[in-house]
A and B are shown apart, each in its own frame.
Chain A
Amino acid sequence: MIYFLLLANKQGKIRLSKWYQNFTKKQKTKLQKEVVSLCLSRSQRSCNFIEWNDYKIIYRRYASLYFMICCDTEDNELIGLEIIHHFVEILDKYFGSVCELDIIFNFQKAYNVLDEVIIDGKLQDSSKKSILRSVGTQDFLILNAPETGTLNL
């Protein structure tokens, strides 16, 4: 199971964080710092797994963005990488070639997509198409809702 998912850029700035275990704010900040600095310090040729306390960090770098998940040690590390890739591909299709700015300005949408991919640290659906369809329908609902005119985020 995934305990948390982090998305940070090369400078170590967190762009997205999702927690499936209860942590206090303080703990979160500490864990984020620790995990991100661990991942950033790895050389490019190293493997994508880090043993960290009793957990395992699986990370993958896409251009300037690092995607990190924290898993149980006995989890299949390779499928962890695939889950990250699955999520990234969906983001990519959803935003249309996703970049860091998309996520900075549309973090709610990114969270929404994530909720369609993972719940409680478990993979929800293996079909990108079906996930994109339901996210699309939700956005459509919002666009056509009577409140949206006044909402104006």
Chain B
Amino acid sequence: MSIKLHDLITKVRESSTTSGVREIISEECVQIRNAFRKEDTKNRPRNISKLIYIDFLGFPTDFGQLECLKLIAHPSYVCKRIGYLGLSVLLTENEEVLFMSTNIIRTDLASENKFIVSLALSSLGNIGSVEMLRDLAPEVEKLLKSQTAYIRKKAALAAIRTIRFVPETVDRFVGRVKSLLSDKNHGVVLGGIQLLVEILKIEPKTISEFRKLVPGLLRMLKSLVDAGYAPEYDFEGVTDPFLQVHILKLLRILGQDSKKYSNQMIDLLTQVGTSSGMNKNVENCILYESVSTILTIESPNRLRVTAINTLSKFLTGKDNNMKYVALNTLLKGVNKDSKSLKRHRKVIVRCLRDKDISIRRRALDLVFGIMNKKNVKELTQELLDCLPKAEHDFRFDITAKVCTAIEKFSPDDQWQIDTLVQVLTIGGQYIRDDVIAIMTHVTGRNQELQYYASKKLYNSLLDDRYRNQKFIQVAAWVIGEFGDILLKKSIEENEPIDPSQIIDLCQIIITSSRNDDLTKYFILNTLIKLSTRIEGYDETIQEIIKPFMKHVNIEIQQRACEYFRLFEDKELLVFSFDRIPVKDENLETQKIEEIEENSNQNSNTNTKVQENSNNQLSPNNSNNQNKKKQEENELNLMGSNINISQNQTQESSSIENLLQLDFSNNNNQNVNKQTTNTQNQQSNQSTEDFLSDIFGTNNNPNRSVNNTQNIQNNNTQNVMDILGTGKGNGTGMGRGNGIGMGLGNGTGMGRGNGTGMGRGNGTGMGRGNGTGMGRGNVNTQKKNPSAIIYNQDGLKIQMNFKLVSVNGTPAAMIQSTFTNSTQTQMTNLLFQVAVPKHLQVQMAPPSSKIIPPNNNGKVTQTFRIIKKQNIKTKLTMMTRIQYKINGMPISKQQEVKNLPLIF
């Protein structure tokens, strides 16, 4: 006997334990299943209602999905209403079953009962999938012309979802907007405005057409502002604030970048800004929206000043909500009105200490927004002052802002170092990883600063060697790098520092169990650098390093071994740890631009490298290739250099082949990451390769010395890149090192060549026995889908997909591989791709225009697709392939659908 829903809820509520609830529910589910099996139509609405409740409690309800369809197909409104509710709650995940409802919804959309139409429209608007929306777009369009306002307003909202998910249907609705906006019913106008906003997002070109609506919108807004008491739309004395806000928002979009239309709005905006009070939330809504509009459109200065003043009233009030929105909006006015903002600096700074984290975050952004060279000292000090009291998460934000301020607005060099040391001291553990890069950047310029920085850091470390790890790392780097300057100048200033004191300090730090492994790497580097900077301490340093050759951490062990061996060839040692070259700003910017241009090309090279390693090329070959490529294009260094390291791996024992697997994965990743982080990776890889060459010396001196020299020139330039940016994401590398130890890791630590920076954004680290180990954030690699999109006349095109993010927008990185199975080679290859409007495609040139015959090699071409609008669909594209075979031109065009990538 089936119980009522009300009784079920009561029963569940009375049960005190979770196991009790589970029992009741499983019993009930059995009953419901049986009822479904027996086609118990009478109790179906009740059972579905129960299932909705059960779903709510978090129990599985998949078995009820088809029953929902049966309910919505029932002719009566009563059943339909429960059925549609079930549809929206139980079925959102299962698009296939949802799609089966398309035809029922179509029938309901044509129903004579307006409430049935409304049910169908609501569920289409709330849960409609891409296919459904595409199929039903004509019906929705028809309903926009319905006689009933009730249907029109719902149809307008369903239309929004339609164009949001299926942008190509936008043309269908463009022509309908105008009539919606002139509707008498506020609900319909509201829907029309929201539809228009969505259309403008998808089809920005239509803006010039829609700008003509501005006078009408202004009239409508004016009538609302001036209206007396309107019983239907009264909100605490304000007439329809929702509609007012939406009109203001639309005006903002239409008036932006158009002097002519902005001018039309000025009078009314002034009236809105001055006439309404500031006591109630409804009034503030409208004020706030009008201020945003004033700050966005081309408004005259006096209006902007009024707007900023309104916000400052919000800011000084007691209401925290108003404070929040004021801070949030002031940021928008920062660029153009920083003068009028200046007056409010005190209030803004005070908000940094507010109890509410939401407000503090906004205040932080705003403080940073109003920062310039003049006030940076003061404001940075404010930020540093609130650092110790801030929450854990917020501290990261503060230190990041302080670091950026140091880089961007620094008034003088010494201040930079002082502030950097200060932030390291109080918030070192919360600081971002590239702080060393900033330090190198700051100290790179002159000896005075290098001395100042190293002395300051050395002294504070001497005072308290239990500082945070980041502090010790930065200090270690600076002391190692400028140790000689520190000693020399300290003598000149008559406060000589004893070199043995420095080395003792290093020894204390490296042997202390308080310090983590990363710090120990840094100290090892400091020691080895000091050995080249200071005379006569080689043996002491060797003694310190020696125990670490047996350290449990393999990275420390390896470094210790490598460095120890390097003492045998002092000349090479000195060369390897020479001071990093001074950064030339002009060169760097130029370089970065170049790198950006070449980034796509590089990713191709990188892929090729993988193939090379698969084909087991001999080391000599790859070295030749290496040289050649370097001549061709310096920036391809990264790709070609990998050859060396990988081939060395192959020379070593088979154990290291395991590593190689790891690394090819890493490389793969890099191809994709590259777009965002090109120059960093380049620098990192070159750093590592540099070392791997040094290392090669032990195995085969002649060859490796050559290598070292080959790379030297390029390397110096790449080292400069490290200086500037140094946010390296790790790359993988592997090699055998003669001591019978092979390892690879993706820590991106600049080893050996005197930079010693980077961070442990670790990737997999394989070791002889095949255990995987990682440091930092181990990247879990998703399997990247691939598909063969073309296979005709001997030409095969395979695509590998990978989701990445470009400046925060999602993008797909697609690598297409062309192979030729015919007897003759294909020349003049041209591959083009077109994508729907909401996407954007960027293509790199192919690795070659000639595809060798008999599957004897591949041509690759990488391109990426960036989302311009946030619409989630299956990726489709149009491709055109042109090539010549035996001199005969061939051109094929095809649409590629069903790609295994939802994007």
Task: Say whether B578 faces chain A, with CB atoms less than 8 Å apart.
Answer: no
Q: A153 and B126: CB pair below 8 A? A: no
CB distance from B419 to the nearest CB of A (A): 27
- Stretch from B351-359, B470-478, B554-562 at the A interface: B351-359
Q: A76-B245, A112-B85, A127-B233 are known contacts. Are A82 and B77 too (CB-CB below 8 A)?
A: no
Q: A119-B157, A152-B46, A153-B45 are known contacts. Are A78 and B285 too (CB-CB below 8 A)?
A: yes
> How far does the alpha carbon of A142 sit from the alpha carbon of B45 in the complex, in Å?
13
CB distance from B125 to the nearest CB of A (A): 4
Which of A19, A43, A78, A112 has most B Cβ within 10 Å?
A78
Q: B321 and A25: CB pair below 8 A? A: no
Task: Say whether A34 faces chain B, with CB atoms less than 8 Å apart.
Answer: no
CB distance from B384 to the nearest CB of A (A): 23
Residues of A within 8 A of B93 (CB): 22, 24-25
Residues of A within 8 A of B676 (CB): none
Q: B85 and A127: CB pair below 8 A? A: no
Task: Say whether B395 faces chain A, with CB atoms less than 8 Å apart.
Answer: no
Q: A45-B320, A150-B42 are known contacts. Are A122 and B194 too (CB-CB below 8 A)?
A: yes
Residues of A within 8 A of B358 (CB): 46-47, 49-51
Q: B81 and A138: CB pair below 8 A? A: yes
Q: Give A81's nearest chain B residue, CB to CB.
A: B281
Q: A124 and B190: CB pair below 8 A? A: yes
- Stretch from A63-71, A90-98, A103-111 at the B interface: A103-111
Q: B78 and A49: CB pair below 8 A? A: no
Q: B245 and A145: CB pair below 8 A? A: no
Q: B187 and A126: CB pair below 8 A? A: yes
0 or 1 for each of A111-153: is its CB under 8 Å from B? (1 = yes):
1100100011011111101100010011001100111101111
Residues of A within 8 A of B231 (CB): 129
> How far does the alpha carbon of A111 sit from the alpha carbon of B56 in the complex, in Å?
13
> How far does the alpha carbon of A105 sit from the alpha carbon of B12 in the complex, in Å?
12
Q: B288 and A47: CB pair below 8 A? A: no
Residues of B within 8 A of A46 (CB): 320, 355-358
- Chief secondary structure at chain B's binding surface: helix
Task: Say whether B92 faces chain A, with CB atoms less than 8 Å apart.
Answer: yes
CB distance from A75 to the nearest CB of B (A): 9
Task: Say whether B417 faces chain A, with CB atoms less than 8 Å apart.
Answer: no
Task: Say whether A14 faces chain B, with CB atoms less than 8 Å apart.
Answer: yes
Question: Contact size class for A?
Answer: 35 or more
Within 8 A of B (CB), among A18-37: 18-20, 22-25, 29
Task: Say whether B136 faces chain A, with CB atoms less than 8 Å apart.
Answer: no
> How far does the alpha carbon of A119 sit from the alpha carbon of B283 in the complex, in Å?
25
Q: B82 and A108: CB pair below 8 A? A: yes
Residues of B within 8 A of A81 (CB): 281, 321
Q: A122 and B46: CB pair below 8 A? A: no
Q: A47-B324, A51-B358, A108-B49 are known contacts. Are A124 and B77 too (CB-CB below 8 A)?
A: no
Q: A22 and B92: CB pair below 8 A? A: yes
Q: Give A145's nearest chain B residue, CB to CB.
A: B78
0 or 1 for each of B201-239: is its CB under 8 Å from A? (1 = yes):
000000000000000000000000000000111010000
- Stretch from B3-11, B461-469, B619-627 at the A interface: B3-11
Q: How many A-B residue pairs have CB under 8 A?
A: 169
Task: Say whether B115 faces chain A, with CB atoms less than 8 Å apart.
Answer: yes
CB distance from B101 to the nearest CB of A (A): 15
Which of A48, A79, A111 sits near B241, CB closer than 8 Å? A79
Residues of A within 8 A of B77 (CB): 138, 141-142, 145
Task: Say whether B58 faces chain A, with CB atoms less than 8 Å apart.
Answer: yes
Q: A123-B242, A126-B186, A127-B187 are known contacts. Are A14 and B56 too (CB-CB below 8 A)?
A: yes
> How far does the alpha carbon of A77 sit from the alpha carbon of B329 in the complex, in Å?
11
CB distance from B841 to the nearest CB of A (A): 24
Question: Contact size class for B?
Answer: 35 or more
Q: A124-B153, A130-B187 are known contacts. Are A49 and B285 too (CB-CB below 8 A)?
A: no
Q: A82 and B153: CB pair below 8 A? A: no
Residues of A within 8 A of B81 (CB): 108, 112, 138, 142
0 or 1 for each of B367-408: is its CB under 8 Å from A? (1 = yes):
000000000000000000000000000000000000000000
Residues of B within 8 A of A152 (CB): 4, 46
Q: A120 and B160: CB pair below 8 A? A: yes
Task: Say whether B249 faces chain A, with CB atoms less than 8 Å apart.
Answer: yes
Which of A77, A115, A153 sits near B46, CB closer than 8 Å? A153
> How far does the alpha carbon of A102 sit from the alpha carbon of B351 in the complex, in Å?
41
CB distance from A42 to the nearest CB of B (A): 8
Task: Say whether B282 faces chain A, with CB atoms less than 8 Å apart.
Answer: yes
CB distance from B180 to the nearest CB of A (A): 13
Residues of B within 8 A of A151 (CB): 45-46, 78
> How far does the alpha carbon of A25 sit from the alpha carbon of B324 in the complex, in Å?
33
Q: A148 and B289: CB pair below 8 A? A: no
Residues of B within 8 A of A17 (CB): 56
Residues of A within 8 A of B154 (CB): 119, 124
> How far does the alpha carbon of A97 sit from the alpha carbon of B199 in the complex, in Å?
40
> How far does the alpha carbon of A122 sit from the alpha carbon of B465 in the complex, in Å?
58
Residues of A within 8 A of B46 (CB): 151-153
Residues of B within 8 A of A23 (CB): 92
Q: A79 and B85: CB pair below 8 A? A: no
Which of A19, A86, A119 sits near B122, CB closer than 8 Å? A119
Residues of B within 8 A of A137 (CB): 115
Q: Give B195's nearest chain A residue, CB to CB.
A: A122
Residues of B within 8 A of A85 (CB): 281
> How far does the alpha carbon of A47 sit from the alpha carbon of B325 in the complex, in Å?
10
> How far does the alpha carbon of A77 sit from the alpha carbon of B153 in the complex, in Å?
24
0 or 1 for each of B314-344: is its CB under 8 Å from A? (1 = yes):
0000001101110010000000000000000
> How far does the alpha carbon of A150 sit from the alpha carbon of B6 in the complex, in Å?
16
> How far does the alpha carbon of A138 sit from the alpha carbon of B232 in the complex, in Å?
20
> How far does the alpha carbon of A85 sit from the alpha carbon of B285 in the complex, in Å?
13
> How far does the alpha carbon of A17 sit from the alpha carbon of B53 in the complex, in Å?
12
Q: Please give 11 more A-B residue pairs, beta carbons under 8 A apart, in addition to A18-B126, A76-B245, A78-B284.
A: A14-B56, A43-B355, A47-B320, A82-B285, A111-B85, A119-B125, A119-B126, A122-B194, A123-B242, A124-B153, A151-B46
Chain A residues with CB under 8 Å of chain B are 14, 17-20, 22-25, 29, 43, 45-51, 76-79, 81-83, 85-86, 104-105, 107-108, 111-112, 115, 119-120, 122-127, 129-130, 134, 137-138, 141-142, 145-148, 150-153
Enumerate 12 A-B pairs (CB-CB under 8 Å) in ascending A order. Answer: A22-B127, A45-B356, A46-B320, A46-B355, A46-B356, A47-B321, A111-B85, A124-B154, A126-B186, A126-B242, A142-B81, A153-B6
| 5 closest A-B pairs by CB | A125-B187, A47-B320, A126-B242, A119-B157, A119-B125
